[in-house]
Amino acid sequence: MARPTPLAALTLALGLALAACSGGGADAPDDTATEEQAAPSGSAEEDGEVVATIAVTAVEMSYAGFPQVLPAGTTRIDFDNAGQTEHDLVVEELGDEQIVPVIEGGASQSVTVTLQPGTYTFYCSVGDHRAMGMEVTVTVE
């Protein structure tokens, strides 16, 4: 069997290297560029970008879906009233701000709230629902 010349071996190696680097042609996506484009450009607080999304369900007389800890910044809350009575969602530390208005059983609503680090109490202000257990404390870090 004949030995390849150094030039032929070099040409073959370069050809294989170029084929491997091309990733399948000019139409192939550039994974590095996609990752860089998807990365956030600033802090969530400055840009108003959603840093967390939580699904909260209200039933008689409790909430489900609140995590114990949330990241600081803007959180999207997908609120679903799976109960039969009206419920809302209020944040005590924001001056008892009602972030989800009173909605009927079976209704849902999505809202965003921006929270600084601290401890927050979310509760239902309808009737005596809070006293009956519709209250959750969450730490924001």
In tens, the pLDDT along 124-140 reads 999 999 999 999 999 99
Q: How far apart are CA 20 and CA 14, in angstroms?
A: 10
pLDDT digits (tens, 9 = 90+) for 20-65: 333 444 443 343 332 222 222 233 344 579 999 999 999 999 999 9
Start-end of H helices in 39-95: 44-47
Query: What is the number of other CB atoms lying within 10 angstroms of the CB of residue 3?
Result: 7
Q: In the predicted model, what is the mean pLDDT of residues 98-120?
A: 97
The encoded tokens of residue 55 equal 């699904």
Q: In the predicted model, what is the mean pLDDT of residues 117-121?
A: 98
Q: Which pLDDT does position 47 carry in this prediction? A: 55
Q: Is the pLDDT of residue 16 over 70?
A: no
Q: Which pLDDT does position 126 carry in this prediction? A: 97
* Integer CA distances (angstroms), 25 to 22, 35, 121, in order: 6, 20, 55
Domain architecture of the chain: domains with CATH: 45-140 (2.60.40.420)
Q: Which pLDDT does position 57 carry in this prediction? A: 98
% the chain with pLDDT above 90: 66
Question: If you search the block for the tokens 């109490």, which residue do you land on?
Answer: 121
Q: In the predicted model, what is the mean pLDDT of residues 115-122?
A: 98
Start-end of H helices in 39-73: 44-47
